Amino acid sequence: MRAIVIHGAGDLRIEDRDDGLVGAGQVSIKMASGGICGSDLHYYNHGGFGDVRLREPMILGHEVAGYITELGVGVSGLSIGQLVAVSPSRPCGSCQYCEEGLSNQCLNMRFYGSAMPFPHIQGAFRDTLVADADQCAPADGLSPSEAAAAEPLAVCLHAVRRAGSLLGKHVLVTGCGPIGIFCILSARRAGAEHIVATDLGDFPLEMATRAGADEVINMAENPTGLDPYMAKKGIFDVLFECSGAAIALAAGIDAVRPRGKVLQLGLGGDMVVPMQKLTAKELAVMGSFRFHEEFFSGVDMMRKGLLDVKPFITQTFGIEEAVEAFRVAGDRTRSIKTQISFA
């Protein structure tokens, strides 16, 4: 089968790999769609991010969906030909954090396309994927492209869950890439009353408006655009920081009201944090990393028509066009979610 393999920064190749055997409790899936994530782009552009570096060739990809072609012994509730979204989250189920219900913090996590451990965890950008049946969320009624967007949506649902009740709250989202856009969708579904989004480009802000933001601010053109929200120590109840940029975090903190919450989702390496402002305003700062059970909730919500990701799937390329797909995915003037078709 074909697989998309990263060997180093800028060195992306299409290679042949073994299909793999289907064991008990597993299924074989013919991949249909896969979304290019920010972490995939970091591997492609920089060979990693922060302390996480490529140390061996690795198949990329973890936002995938496809059609079941074979059922292993003991598999029930799934059928051949069925479209499934595949959760890349594979916690061990037996470590300290899994037993505490913190599956996303698993000490032995096997997350597709991750260079965090060594040997690296190979990813899912391949023609055929053998997966555990319990990773598969039935996606009947969705397109493969929609189903493949379940992973970034789950990241945002996890962050919204961490934030607590958003009913009637004022929310700020900094950074309007896929995670920022899906945070807007998720926060609105959770009852946020007023959502303001910031970014440095017009295209992502146009998409933020389409996602339901009440106001958007281009911080490159209007660096003081958040100033009105900083009066009286700030007005936002919750900040979803999705850019990974220290300057966005600092501006957002200035606009969060005392005892508000800051959810950090953006991964851009270590950031300088204005600790004195956090202390003086008694802000709660929370990291939000990956997800687990939210993946299945997100697929269910899409199937029920409660969340619509279709407008934000901006480009689709064939597997043989993978290099161009990665180049476009990194172009924030025209791409929110770029996907690869394995058809």
The CATH code of the domain that includes 26 is 3.90.180.10
Percent of the chain at pLDDT above 90?
95
pLDDT for the residue numbered 89: 92
pLDDT at 203: 98
Q: Are residues 138 and 239 in the same domain?
A: no
Using the structure block, give the residue that is written with the tokens 């900094």.
174
Same domain? 144 vs 38: yes
pLDDT at 104: 93
* Mean confidence (pLDDT) of the chain: 96
pLDDT confidence of residue 182: 98
Q: Say if residue 139 is in the same domain as residue 237.
A: no
Q: Is residue 27 one of the residues assigned to a domain?
A: yes
Work out the average pLDDT over 298-304: 98
Rounded CA separation 210/9 (Å): 34
Q: Label the pairing between strands 215-218 and 194-199.
A: parallel
Task: Summarize pLDDT for 177-229 with one digit per residue, the tens.
Answer: 999 999 999 999 999 999 999 999 999 999 999 999 999 999 999 999 999 99
On the question of pLDDT at 269 being above 90, the answer is no
Q: Tell which residue, 23, 27, 31, has the closest CA to residue 67.
A: 31
pLDDT the model gives residue 267: 83
Classify residue 110: in a domain, yes or no.
yes
Q: Which of left, alpha, beta for 6 (phi over 0: left; psi -120 to 50: alpha)?
A: beta
**CA angle, 312 then 29 then 14, to 5°:** 70
pLDDT at residue 105, rounded to an integer? 95
Query: Is residue 174 very low, low, confident or very high in pLDDT (cuts 50, 70, 90)?
Result: very high
Give the Cα separation of 288 and 266 in Å (integer): 9
Q: Answer whether residue 292 is part of any domain.
A: no
Residues 230 and 281 in one domain: yes
Domain membership flag for residue 96: yes
Alpha-carbon gap, residue 319 to 33, rounded angstroms: 10
Overall domain count for the chain:
2
User: Residue 329 and residue 152: Cα distance in Å, rounded?
Assistant: 15
Cα 281 to Cα 108: distance, rounded to the nearest angstrom: 37
| Residues 95 and 129 occupy one common structural domain | yes
118 and 209 co-located in one domain: no
Clarify whether residues 184 and 316 are in a common domain: no
Tell me if 130 sits within 8 A of 153, measured CB to CB: no
Residue 270 has pLDDT above 80, yes or no: no
Q: Residue 168 pLDDT more than 80? A: yes
In a domain, 76, yes or no: yes
Same domain, 66 and 179: no
DSSP-derived secondary structure letter, 114: B
Question: Residue 292: its pLDDT value, please?
Answer: 87
Identify the CATH number of the domain in which residue 200 sits. Answer: 3.40.50.720
Residue 49: what pLDDT?
87
Question: Could you tell me if 20 and 131 lie in one domain?
Answer: yes
Domain that holds residue 324: 2-149+309-341
pLDDT (tens digit per residue) in 19-50:
889 999 999 999 999 999 999 999 999 999 88
Helix (H) or strand (E) holding 6: strand 2-8
The yes-or-no verdict on residue 343 having pLDDT over 90 is no
In a shared domain, residues 159 and 140: no
Residue 303 counted as domain residue: no
Q: What is the pTM of this model?
A: 0.95
Q: What is the pLDDT of residue 272?
A: 85
Q: Indicate if the pLDDT at residue 268 is higher than 90.
A: no
Q: Are strands 337-341 and 313-318 parallel, antiparallel or unpaired?
A: parallel
Position 293 in a domain: no
The DSSP secondary-structure symbol of 73 reads T
Angle subtended by helix axes 178-189 and 202-211, to nearest 10: 20
**49 with 119, same domain?**
yes
297 domain residue, yes or no: no
CA distance 145 to 65: 8
Compute the C-alpha angle 275/197/337, nearest 5°: 110
Mean of pLDDT values over 73-85: 97
